[in-house]
């Protein structure tokens, strides 16, 4: 006669099996090798959470994939995640804690330039290591930071030039009121005005601001050929809602955005942004075997409804570069890792990427795409290959650029 397990017996057996599986999974590391910790600095709450929280999952995928094949030289990799709360100074405090108390071997994080600039002195004080995954205004390099997002010549400048060639010379600038939008827009104005462009208006709103009525009224009145958008966070949803409610369609006044990707489309509702454009180095729609496999792995792990975007890919690639460096050396020693990082390259989902020896940024392919009602982007232009990063655009010297940025930082709130 067959015997059936009681409810309690079934639960006990399940617990025993789970414990055995856990033991088997981690037996490969050895008892004498404690986890190698990495710190993750992203906003899980506040105005930046909708953009930043998905980057944690991209990092988690890279870590889990590493652990599935034996970790790092026989030791498991462990994530320590800190919520930056959309507050740059609080994020700097968390960076200090991760380095000094949690003893992490590398940091991955930040989104806004305000956050990066707050964390940078902490990282440099400890001679630690930060991987920064978001496009930004440039005018910076550090021996303790690897910039896996785009420099200005790898995103905003080529997108602005393409927009002027396709749409016309009359342009309007809108951005959040902090260092990235103001500095990036100065570069755009320099380049477009030199090409015969006409700047019709320039507006900045506080990060997270929801009142876009005055800005949209100004755009409707001036009717530019295109708008260049450097808003960040939740403000984008309010901006595109205001455009929609004012009846300003993408075919009339297209918006070219630097911080709207697939994740933001999903959060806002793709119908608000359909027809408008974005410039990035990676889109989920990149047609390559490497990217198709990456998308499949991510969806299998986090759900078929999830989407991937450029900062997520840059976060994943940053972990890959660090993992490769540690594996090559056989140690996670910070000083040694920083000696081999400038020689690293990886075939990422978006194509071949390589760390530039001179400035710590990545060589990356530039892409411009149009948002569709399905929440995905259709690529309309891309560079012929990986573009060398130029964090300091050539038409001014380093000292002059730093003076310009200092003056713009004084204007930002």
CA distance 271 to 274: 5
State whether the Cα torsion 231-106-342-89 is positive or negative.
Answer: positive
SS3 186: helix
Residue with tokens 């290959």: 385
**Cβ proximity of 228 and 185 under 8 Å:** yes
User: Using an 8 Å Cβ cutoff, are 367 and 382 in contact?
Assistant: yes
pLDDT for the residue numbered 32:
66
Q: Would you state the pLDDT for residue 404?
A: 85
> pLDDT under 70 in the chain at which residues?
1-32, 410-413
pLDDT for the residue 410? 63
- Contact in structure between 73 and 30 (CB atoms under 8 Å): no
Q: Whose structure tokens read 């889990």?
A: 64
Q: Say how many C-beta atoms besides its own lie within 10 A of residue 301's C-beta.
A: 13
Reduce the DSSP state of residue 21 to 3 states and report it: helix
- Ordered domains of the chain (ranges, CATH): 36-150+287-364 (3.40.50.2300), 153-285+368-411 (3.40.50.2300)
* 268: CB partners within 8 A, 6+ apart: 236, 237, 240, 241
Whole-number pLDDT of residue 20 = 41
How much is the pLDDT for 221? 98
Going by the DSSP 8-state scheme, the letter that residue 46 receives in this structure is: S
> Concatenated DSSP letters for 66-135?
HHHTTTBTTB-EEEEEEE-TT-HHHHHHHHHHHHHTS--S-EEE--SHHHHHHHHHHHHHTT--EEE-S-
Residue of 227, 298, 226 lying closest to 263 (CA atoms): 298
What confidence score (pLDDT) does residue 395 get?
86
Q: Identify the pLDDT of residue 412.
A: 57
Helix or strand (DSSP H, E) at 334 = helix 334-340
> Cα 385 from chain centroid?
21
Q: Which residues pair with 203 in a beta bridge?
A: 174
User: pLDDT of 54-107, one tens digit each?
Assistant: 999 999 999 999 999 999 989 999 999 999 999 999 999 999 999 999 999 999
What are the residues whose beta carbons fall under 8 Å from the beta carbon of 410, sequence distance 6 or more?
none
Q: Sign of dihedral through CA atoms 48, 52, 53, 54?
A: positive
| Six-digit token string for 131 | 């991987």
Q: What is the DSSP letter of 153?
A: G
- Report the relative pairing of strands 145-147 and 130-132 from DSSP bridges: parallel
What's the pLDDT at 27?
46
**Is residue 109 within 8 Å of 94, Cβ to Cβ?**
no
Q: Where are the beta strands (DSSP E) in 123-266?
A: 130-132, 145-147, 170-176, 198-205, 226-230, 255-257
Token pair, residue 202, equals 């320039």
Confidence (pLDDT) at 127? 98
Backbone phi and psi for residue 263, each to the nearest 5 degrees, phi listed first: -65, -45
Note the pLDDT of residue 208.
87
Q: How far apart are CA 118 and CA 190, in angstroms?
A: 27
> What is the predicted pLDDT for the residue at 118?
98
């Amino acid at each position: 006669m067959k015997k059936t397990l009681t409810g309690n017996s079934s639960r006990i057996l399940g617990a025993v099996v789970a414990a055995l599986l856990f033991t088997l999974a981690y037996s490969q590391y050895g008892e004498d090798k404690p986890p190698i910790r990495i710190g993750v600095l992203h906003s899980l709450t506040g105005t930046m959470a909708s953009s930043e929280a998905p980057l944690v999952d991209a990092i988690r995928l890279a870590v889990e994939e590493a652990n599935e094949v034996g970790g790092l030289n026989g030791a498991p990799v462990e994530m320590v995640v800190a919520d930056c709360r959309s507050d740059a100074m609080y994020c700097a405090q968390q960076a200090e804690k991760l380095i000094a108390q949690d003893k992490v071997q590398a940091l991955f994080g930040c989104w806004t330039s305000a956050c990066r600039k707050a964390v940078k002195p902490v990282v440099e004080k400890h001679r630690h290591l930060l991987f920064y995954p978001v496009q930004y205004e440039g005018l910076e390099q550090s021996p303790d930071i690897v910039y896996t997002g785009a420099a200005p010549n790898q995103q905003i400048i080529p997108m602005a030039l393409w927009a002027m060639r396709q749409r016309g010379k009359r342009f309007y600038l809108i951005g959040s009121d902090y260092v990235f939008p103001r500095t990036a827009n100065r570069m755009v104005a320099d380049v477009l005005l030199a090409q015969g462009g006409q700047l019709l208006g320039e507006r900045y709103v506080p990060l997270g601001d929801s009142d876009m009525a005055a800005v949209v009224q100004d755009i409707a009145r001036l009717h530019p050929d295109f708008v260049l958008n450097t808003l960040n966070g939740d403000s984008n949803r309010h901006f595109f809602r205001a455009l929609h409610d004012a009846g300003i369609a993408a075919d009339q006044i297209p918006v070219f955005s630097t911080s709207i990707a697939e994740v933001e489309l999903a959060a806002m509702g793709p119908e608000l942004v359909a027809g408008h454009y974005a410039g990035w180095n990676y889109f989920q729609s990149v047609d390559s075997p490497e990217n198709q496999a990456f998308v499949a792995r991510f969806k299998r792990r986090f759900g078929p409804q999830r989407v991937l975007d450029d900062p997520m890919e840059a976060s994943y690639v940053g972990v890959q570069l660090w993992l490769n460096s540690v594996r090559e050396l056989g140690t996670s020693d910070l000083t040694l890792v920083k000696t081999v990082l400038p020689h690293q390259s990886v075939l990422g989902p978006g194509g071949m990427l390589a760390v530039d020896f001179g400035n710590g940024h990545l060589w990356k392919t530039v892409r411009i795409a149009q948002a569709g009602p399905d929440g995905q982007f259709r690529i309309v232009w891309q560079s012929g290959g990986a573009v060398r990063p130029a964090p300091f655009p050539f038409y001014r010297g380093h000292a002059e650029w730093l003076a310009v940025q200092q003056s713009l930082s004084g204007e930002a709130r």
